[in-house]
Structure 1
Amino acid sequence: MLKIHGVPRSRAFRCIWAAEEAGLPYEVVPLGFAAGFKLERPLTINPNNKIPALEDGSLVLFESLAINMHIARKAGAPLMPSGDDASRVDQWTLWAATEAEPHVMRWAYNAFLKPEAERVPAEAAAGKEALDARLAVLEAELASRPYLVGKDFTVADLNLASVLYGSWLNGYDYTRFPKVKAWLDACLTRPKALAARKQREG
């Protein structure tokens, strides 16, 4: 059984969703946050002392998107396709981490995550401007296919949609990006996504 260390209201949500989509048995080992986004106790299996971390037998992994790639490989197609499409999954997963997440988090911290008195509107605006430039790329890509790799939902979609999930849930303006919005709606209302969201939002 997979052991996912963390809480659903963290990046562990991504891994819970991946396990749901993969149909693999899993257990969430609760570990949440104290004040200031610090862990309530150390997580010794992760040298970075961050959540999530995964135990799969003797294998221990950290980094949520790497965990998801491992889970998807265990499940196989269609969650993790083969051949060139597997390389496209890698591409979009790295794009989620390097191109999307830094900017969506810059916006999020200053739009809803931090206490209101600590938010800096100019930082939120800068994050949105940078993210919008990346969303324009995504909008163009989704003009030719329903999902990132082709006609089927894969872990690439899960990884990027989970990175954008907080913005989608918390009022980010996707008006300029209707294809992105429709794709996010499709990803985040899948039955397994709803199962994971129930844990996170409940």
Structure 2
Amino acid sequence: MLVIHGVTRSRASRIVWLCYELDLDFKQVPVIQAYRLADPSAPDAPLNTQSPEFLALSPAGAIPVIQDGDLQLTESLASTLHLAQKAGAPIGPESPAERALMMQWSFYAATSIEPDALTILFLHNPGQAQRGEDAAIVANAAESLVRPLRVLEQHLSRHEYLVADRFTVADLNMAEVLRYAQTNHELMGQFSATSAWLDRCQARPAFRRMWERRLAEPE
């Protein structure tokens, strides 16, 4: 059975969502991020990213980690792409060209969108007053996202999904990255096709099931 090390309030959410899409059985080991704990080395601390037993799996001390038989992967996008490749169409590729396109959009999400989207996630508080410094950082991150989101918008204004006009792992990976910036309505309001696509992705039963699992975990 597939084992996912990491709480769902992490990039493990991508893998959990995919498992639900594929109806794939899995075991989840709830490794929590050390920065969320007052003292991750305390004797009564829960299993976390600084626990010796987890560091034996991931020397970088980062979640998620998956174990799929003898294969161990320590990167979330490698994990989702691997599992989708094994499963094949419709979530995974049915040809080498589709596989390449799914990799392309996944890597685009990670390199061109995720860094600035994470800045918005951590510093943007919708409807609340923000410190000038934080507001300036968020504004700069949003401005930096305009160019890559224009690329996404152009594609999604002509296609329902990213690859082969069906929902695939590329959409899942991109949607989970873009979710970090979703609360910045001023930014997302500029990209109607992208926003509609994100709504379609998040309306899927597998996403809703993952989200319920995530919300059930302690903040």
- TM-score, normalised to structure 2, is 0.84
Which letter maps to 1:6? G
Seq. identity, %: 38
Deviation at 1:166, TM superposition (A): 2.8
Q: Unmatched 5+ residue regions in structure 2?
A: 41-47
Question: Which letter does structure 2 place at the counterpart of 1:8?
Answer: T
Alignment of 1:117-132 (within 5 A): 120-132=134-146
Superimposed CA distance per residue, residues 150-174 of structure 1 (whole angstroms, 9 cap, x where no aligned partner):
3210100000001112322x34431
Partner SS state of residue 10, structure 1: coil
Q: Which residue of 2 aligns with 1:153?
A: 167
Structure 1 counterpart SS, 2:124: helix
Find out whether 1:197 has 2:211 as its counterpart: yes
* Residue in structure 1 matched with residue 87 of structure 2 by the alignment: 75
Q: CA deviation at 1:34?
A: 3.8
The answer on 1:136 being equivalent to 2:150 is: yes
Match of 1:92 in 2: 105
Aligned-residue offset at 1:41 = 3.7
CA distance in 2: counterparts of 1:200 and 1:73, whole angstroms: 25
Distance 2:58 2:131 in 1: 32
The residue aligned with 2:202 is 188
Structure 2 contact 12–63 (Cα < 8 Å) conserved? yes
- Displacement of 1:79: 0.8
Is it true that 1:162 corresponds to 2:176 in the alignment? Answer: yes
- Tell me, yes or no, if structure 1 residue 10 matches structure 2 residue 10: yes
Listed as ranges, the gaps of 5+ residues in structure 1 are: none
Alignment pair present for 1:48 and 2:44? no
Equivalent pair of 2:5/2:29 in contact (CA under 8 Å): yes
Tell me the C-alpha RMSD between the 2 structures.
2.0
Is the Cα contact below 8 Å between 1:6 and 1:30 reproduced in 2? yes
How far 1:48 sits from its partner (Å)?
A: 1.2
Asked if residue 32 in structure 1 is aligned to residue 44 in structure 2, the reply is no
After TM superposition, give the deviation of residue 118 of structure 1 in Å. 11
- 2:123 is aligned to 110
